[in-house]
Chains A and B, each alone.
Chain A
Amino acid sequence: MNKYGSFSGGILGSLFKKPATKGYPFVQREYPERTRGSIVIDIDGCILCGLCEKKCPSAAIKVDRNAGTWSIDRMGCVQCENCVVGCPKKVLSTDVHYTPPSTERTVDTFKKAGAEISEATGGASMPNADLDKCVFCGLCAKNCPQGALQVDRASKSWKLDETLCVSCGLCVEKCPKKCIEMGADTTKAPVTLPQYDIDDLPLADASACVYCGLCASACPQGAIEMDRDAKTWVINEDKCIHCGICYYKCPKKCIKMVDAETATAQPEEKKAEAAVSLPKADLDNCVFCTLCAKNCPQGALTVDRASKTWKLDAESCVSCGLCVDKCPKKCIDMSAGSAAEANEPEFKRGYEVDATPEADTDLCVFCGICQKACPQDAITVDRENKTWVIDEDKCIHCAICAYKCPKKCIDMR
């Protein structure tokens, strides 16, 4: 047993070995590829969803959607890679080189190029599924990094938890049916109220207002006083509860929510020149489909298929123009000055009113354009089985299918 000098062998051996010292800073260190040095971002691919900010355990990342910036406090980053792992777009990665020491706290800010992009993602646009196309496969829910989606096949439900959603758009990308879109779908989602301060008052744009009075009848407080004849529109400030219902009831979208000062300062302008125009149908093209009558908020239109009449009750018409918008044949315009003019009968058409469309299946390529165009969903096209079926009960004989057909293979018989 060498009680003494047990270390001498080691010491002597070390004399002939290469020094263990790596020589930093004269020799730069080479890092293994997994080294976590600092976080880097490919800002162009970033969608500013803010997931990284939520995941950062040391709150070093700040994402500003409105300014379109992503910033990291270099002196606050713990390089845990939680953001890199959690990034839905995989635009974050780790560089092997550490942030150099500095006399100031370093904060690196990256600005996303293109203001329109930041606007597109800046609003609270949330995904919305088109439930007609959705097959409830659940892929979107599986891929949601926030677990904000709930899809149930059995009950055919697709639910979004808006408090969790960060609008990253992964669900849109992952959807195999491409039936998810960012942004509220107005036909199915509840109407989103406009962005306005709680004290804002509605104000009608006198140049666009048709004095239909729909706003006044919708107002729960009776705060809108409108006179068709005098063409005045007044909001009663004291009664208004700022609910915004008038805003989205307006068929002309001429009501805006503005602050109280603007609303009261502007004297209600009289629309002196523009005479109230009434809708008039071009009976040459009209197929008496009754869609206009169905959509008239005032019930001012009477359309009768059997007797082929189209009649306007000028008394109740509020000139809102909805019938013009809804007409599938685009044969109504707001040109008539009087009720007599509007109801003047004229009748020309290339086919019998009761004729139903029929496709020549020899020519038909089953493209489905007619199916999409049909306002009544009366046509069913099956590409695979090469069938074209019309539901005669639903058909309103509008002949839109025949007009839209790219092969001109549909006949009205």
Chain B
Amino acid sequence: MSKRSIVPFGPQHPVLPEPIHLDLVLEDEKVVEAIPSIGFIHRGLEKLVDKRNYKDYLYVIERICGICSFMHGMGYAEGIERIMDVEIPDRAKYLRTIWCEMSRLHSHLLWLGLLADAFGFESLFMHCWRMRETILDMFEASTGGRVIFSVNKIGGVLKDMDSAMLKSFVEMFDKMEEEVKTLTNVFLKDYTVGSRLRGVGILTKEDAILNGAVGPMMRAAGIEQDTRKLGYAAYGDLDFDIITGKDCDSFARCEVRINEIFQSFNIIRQAVDKIPQGPVSVDVKGNPNGEAFVRLEQPRGEAVFYFRGDGTEHLNRARVRTPTFANIPSLVKILEGCDYADVPILVLTIDPCVSCTER
């Protein structure tokens, strides 16, 4: 007869830079149940709409998360632009697309590094993060920030990238793509990696639908859905396919994210080719009155924004459903029945962003 015990995981845990707490119910070495408890980094920033006017709130909302900061800012700007019926210049749409894809690149590389670290492949971790620094340098050159960019504005973007800068970026991406290829080959082909990831943490298509999984988590289960296909920003003009996996396990998720890295390189190249000349922002006067939903594909999955304004300079309500929040039920599902030693990897495969979840 096996013995039941409860082992706490977190909030401070070496594998995660962020605090999340799980109570793991173990039967010998098998996890029977995982009970998540969140709220360690809850700040209550949605309520700050009462204290900051709608233009300044942009700087608050982009600090929901330091990894997809750009996309949170962009989601907010798109929402307010929709409420106020502002048509932003085409160049701004393309610039937003380019920065979005750069965010996705650096987020996926960061995740690959953390994953490598979780299964003890430290040199791989270092290489991933070294590569990521190149993208951060590009961010710094184009927006002025490494992590928080503050480059969005209601009605467009604040900074432009001239053609020389875009050209140098594309050259850097071409060079990087080769390096990333050798690196990701290790993830895809190495025996050690495969042995840790294959067949671990299976989330079937049915379970993914049932638990409302989003992003790579859902696509790895074979569901073909990508919010970018809705055509926000300049995605409507660009050509890309939805990447899906079929094995539904941790390896499939890793594979999907790696393929998305190359897809992002491709999208950036297309966007740089097609980017029109012109202004990057329009002036916005007045206050938002009305409500809007915005759906964005963040590196971790689909984020849903909801904003409501009542004609004053303070919004009535702001709400963000972040991808990690939607993926937690799936995490609980895949933790059931796994080995205790696999818990860190499984927590990582959903690419958790706790700051997003708890806001």
- A interface residues with partner B (beta carbon < 8 Å): 1-4, 6-7, 9-11, 20, 31-32, 34-36, 55, 57, 78-82, 85, 94, 147
Q: Can you name 10 extra interface pairs (CB under 8 A) apart from A3-B190, A81-B150?
A: A4-B191, A6-B189, A7-B124, A7-B186, A10-B183, A31-B140, A32-B144, A34-B159, A57-B57, A78-B148
Contact between chains at B189 and A3 (CB < 8 Å): yes
Residue of B nearest to A4 (CB): B191
Is there an interface contact between A85 and B158, defined as CB atoms closer than 8 Å? yes
Asked whether, in the complex, the Cβ of A34 is within 8 Å of the Cβ of B142, the reply is yes
Residues of B269-303 contacting chain A, CB below 8 A? 285
A57 touching B186, Cβ below 8 Å: no
Note all chain B residues with C-beta closer than 8 A to A2: 189
A57 in contact with B52 (CB, 8 Å) = yes
Q: Which residues of A contact B191 (CB under 8 A)?
A: 3-4
User: Known contacts being A10-B127, A34-B159, is A82 close to B59, with CB within 8 Å?
Assistant: yes
Contacting residues, chain B, for A9 (C-beta < 8 A): 182
State the CA gap A20–B60 with chains docked (Å). Answer: 34
Residues in chain A near residue B137, CB distance under 8 A: 32
Q: How far is the CA of A191 from the CA of B285 in the complex (A)?
A: 33
> How far is B242's CA from A265's CA once the two chains are assembled, in angstroms?
89
- Cβ-defined contact, A36 with B56, below 8 A: no
A89 to chain B, nearest CB (A): 19
A4–B186 CA distance with the chains assembled, in angstroms: 9
> In the docked arrangement, what's the CA distance between A35 and B137, Å?
10
Chain A residues with CB under 8 Å of B150's CB are: 36, 79-82
How would you classify the secondary structure of chain A's contact residues: helix, strand, loop or mixed? loop
On chain B, the number of residues with a Cβ less than 8 Å from chain A's Cβ atoms is 30
Contact check, B186 vs A82: say whether CB atoms are below 8 A apart.
no
Q: Which residues of A contact B127 (CB under 8 A)?
A: 10
| Least CB distance, A305 to chain B, in whole angstroms | 57
The 22 sampled A-B contact pairs (Cβ below 8 Å) are: A1-B189, A2-B189, A3-B190, A4-B190, A6-B185, A6-B189, A10-B182, A20-B133, A31-B140, A32-B140, A32-B144, A34-B142, A34-B143, A35-B140, A36-B144, A36-B145, A55-B56, A57-B52, A79-B150, A80-B148, A81-B150, A81-B158
| Interface contact A82-B145, CB-CB below 8 Å | no
Q: Find B186's partner among A6, A34, A35 (CB 8 Å cutoff).
A: A6
The complex places the Cα of A81 from the Cα of B145 at a distance, in Å, of 11
Q: Are the CB atoms of A80 and B59 closer together than 8 Å?
A: yes
CB neighbours of A34 from chain B (8 A): 140-144, 159
Q: A1, A81, A82, A147: which contacts B144 (Cβ < 8 A)?
A: A81
In the complex the two chains form, what is the Cα distance from A80 to B73 in whole Å? 12
Closest to B153 in A: A85
Q: How far is the CA of A9 from the CA of B127 in the complex (A)?
A: 13
Please, which residues of chain B bring their CB within 8 A of the CB of A11? 123
Find chain B residues with CB under 8 A from A31 CB: 140
Within 8 A of A (CB), among B302-338: none
Please provide the chain B residues from 179 to 193 with a CB less than 8 Å away from any CB of chain A in the complex: 182-183, 185-186, 189-191
Q: Within 8 Å CB of A6, what residues of B? A: 185-186, 189-190
Contact A32 B145 (CB under 8 A): no
User: Contact mask B92-127 → A, CB, 8 Å, 1/0?
Assistant: 000000000000000000000000000000011001
**Residue B130 at the chain A interface, CB threshold 8 Å:** yes
Whether A20 touches B148, Cβ cut-off 8 Å, given contacts A3-B191, A57-B60, is no
Q: How far is the CA of A10 from the CA of B123 in the complex (A)?
A: 10
Pair A32/B141 contact, Cβ less than 8 Å: yes
The answer on a CB contact under 8 Å between A57 and B56 is yes
Specify which chain A residues have a CB less than 8 angstroms from the CB of B143 in the assembled complex.
34
State in angstroms the CA–CA spacing of A57 and B54 once bound together. 11
Closest to B52 in A: A57
